[in-house]
């Protein structure tokens, strides 16, 4: 009985792991975050964004980028699994 369960569930769990990794990769797109950081900087330098808003957004984006980098490291090392 356990062997049958393993044969039926293992491919399903593997598929979930792959889908989970793809979703995390899409949610934590480092390129998009870096582009937002550049855009924020440019708008500030052009005077279209006040310093307070620039600093607030910069802090949020840098924190988001750090999380994205950690997620990508875990994805590369294979340490993220569906639980």
What are the pLDDT digits (tens) for 4-55?
566 666 766 666 666 666 766 677 788 999 999 999 999 999 999 999 999 9
**Helix runs in 28-50, H state only:** 30-45
Contact at 8 Å (CB) between 10 and 4? no
Question: Nearest to residue 76, comparing CAs of 13, 8, 28?
Answer: 28
Sign of the C-alpha dihedral, residues 53, 56, 62, 67?
negative
Biggest CA-to-CA distance, the chain? 68
CA distance 66 to 83: 23
Q: In the chain, where are the structural domains located?
A: 2-15+30-77
The pTM for the full model equals 0.67
What are the pLDDT digits (tens) for 70-79?
888 887 787 6
């Amino acid at each position: 009985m356990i062997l049958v369960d393993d044969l039926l569930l293992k491919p399903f769990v593997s598929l979930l792991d792959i889908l989970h990794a793809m979703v995390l990769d899409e949610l934590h797109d480092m390129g998009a975050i870096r582009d937002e950081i550049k855009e924020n900087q440019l708008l500030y330098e052009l005077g279209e964004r006040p310093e307070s808003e620039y600093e607030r957004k910069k802090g949020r984006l840098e924190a988001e980028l750090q999380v994205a980098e950690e997620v990508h490291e875990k994805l590369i090392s294979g340490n993220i699994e569906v639980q």
